[in-house]
């Protein structure tokens, strides 16, 4: 087996930096990534140390004053917990790349008609390539269903349609009437019914929320599988292969 002989990146203390290959520290690169988030109106998940979370979008980048402005609804009852945090952990996605960065100095700015969360600029970011797994869009007539308890309301059982699926995770459709599912939450004891004969019992790590196409009242939440056993993984791979073949046949017809 070949060994990786490349020198490890060093941290400020002169020791190998385990996160060096993921770290983005040049101010120009950080600014460019923030502008991509702003221009694409990509969802950004803001997470406070006490567990409170908020999904928002970045609408202004002031690199002169080194300030960021995020859109918020000032009527949210949990907004105070976000504002009172000394620092927020932000998580966002640009296509196949996950961005993670800390935001200092949180304040709420109000005007006559709007409100915004204002923070300082991050000094660095971490850029992770998402898992390279083939993802298929499910067939709506036979779409798998995820059965799980609402993480914040244990007495509420949810049955959510699986929008797309891969060997690494899935995306669920959350109707507008369902209380929000918070990114970063781990759900134990979920069951995914792939078809009438096949079900998977596993956990889910809720990752990120995004908008659904106009006309559909709900949101899309990406999930990562947790504690999947080999038998479940084989069943899932068979389902993905079969769905891919069916979609090809639909195109030929």
- The pLDDT score that the predictor gives to residue 69 is 93
Class of domain 135-252: mainly beta
- The pLDDT score that the predictor gives to residue 10 is 45
105 vs 102, residue with greater confidence = 102
- The answer on pLDDT for 216 being more than 80 is no
Dihedral sign (CA 244, 245, 250, 251): positive
Angle at 71 between CA 65 and CA 72, to 5 degrees: 125
- The pLDDT score that the predictor gives to residue 96 is 63
Is the CB of residue 127 less than 8 Å from the CB of residue 24? yes
- The pLDDT score that the predictor gives to residue 233 is 86
250 vs 102, residue with greater confidence = 102
**Dist. CA 204–CA 201, nearest whole Å:** 10
Is the CB of residue 160 less than 8 Å from the CB of residue 29? no
- The pLDDT score that the predictor gives to residue 240 is 81
- The pLDDT score that the predictor gives to residue 5 is 34
- The answer on pLDDT for 115 being more than 60 is yes
Domain boundaries, the chain: 20-129, 135-252
Residue 114 has a CB neighbour count (10 Å cut-off) of 13
12 vs 108, residue with greater confidence = 108
DSSP state letters, 143-201: --EEEEEETTEEEEEEEEEEEEEESSEEEEEEETTSPPPPTT-EEEEEEEE-SSS-EEE
Pairing of strands 186-193, 199-211: antiparallel
**Of the listed ranges 32-41, 116-125, 136-145, the one predicted with least confidence:** 136-145
Taking only Cα atoms into account, the Rg of the chain, rounded to an integer number of angstroms, comes to: 21
Percent of the chain at pLDDT exceeding 70: 81
- The pLDDT score that the predictor gives to residue 7 is 39
Write down the mean pLDDT value for the chain.
Answer: 81
Task: Tell me the per-residue pLDDT of 2-60, one tens digit each, with 9 for 90 and over.
Answer: 333 333 444 445 555 666 778 888 899 899 999 999 998 888 988 888 888 888 899 99
Burial of 214 (0-12, 13-18, 19+ CB in 10 A): exposed
**Considering only CA atoms, which of 214, 206, 170 is closest in space to residue 91?**
206
- The answer on pLDDT for 64 being more than 50 is yes
**Dist. CA 200–CA 224, nearest whole Å:** 14
Superfamily of domain 20-129: Electron Transport, Fmn-binding Protein; Chain A (2.30.110.10)
Averaged pLDDT, 134-151? 79
Residue 119 backbone phi and psi in degrees, to 5: -135, 170
- The pLDDT score that the predictor gives to residue 177 is 92
- The answer on pLDDT for 244 being more than 90 is no
- The pLDDT score that the predictor gives to residue 2 is 30
**Considering only CA atoms, which of 190, 186, 195 is closest in space to residue 235?**
195
pTM of the model: 0.50
Is the CB of residue 236 less than 8 Å from the CB of residue 165? yes
């Amino acid at each position: 087996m070949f060994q990786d002989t490349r020198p490890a990146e060093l941290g400020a203390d002169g020791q190998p930096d385990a996160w060096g290959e993921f770290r983005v520290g040049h101010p120009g690169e950080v600014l460019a990534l923030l502008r991509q988030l702003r221009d694409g109106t990509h969802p950004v998940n803001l997470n406070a140390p006490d567990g409170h979370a908020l999904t928002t979008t970045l609408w202004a980048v002031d690199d002169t004053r080194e300030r960021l402005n995020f859109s918020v609804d000032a009527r949210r009852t949990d907004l105070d917990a976000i504002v009172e945090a000394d620092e927020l952990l932000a998580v966002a996605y640009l296509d196949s790349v996950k961005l993670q960065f800390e935001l200092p100095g949180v304040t709420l700015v109000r005007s006559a008609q709007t409100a915004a969360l204002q923070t300082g600029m991050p000094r660095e970011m971490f850029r992770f390539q998402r898992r390279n797994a083939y993802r298929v869009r499910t067939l709506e007539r036979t779409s798998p269903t995820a059965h799980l308890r609402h993480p914040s309301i244990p007495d509420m059982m949810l049955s959510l349609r699986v929008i797309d699926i891969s060997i690494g995770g899935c995306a669920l459709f959350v109707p507008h009437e369902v209380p929000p599912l918070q990114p970063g939450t781990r759900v134990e004891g979920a069951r995914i019914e792939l078809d009438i004969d096949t079900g998977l019992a596993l956990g889910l790590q809720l990752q990120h929320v995004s908008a659904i196409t106009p006309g559909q009242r709900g949101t899309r939440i990406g999930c990562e599988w947790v504690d999947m056993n080999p038998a479940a993984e084989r069943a899932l791979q068979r389902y993905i292969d079969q769905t891919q073949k069916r979609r090809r046949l639909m195109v030929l017809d």
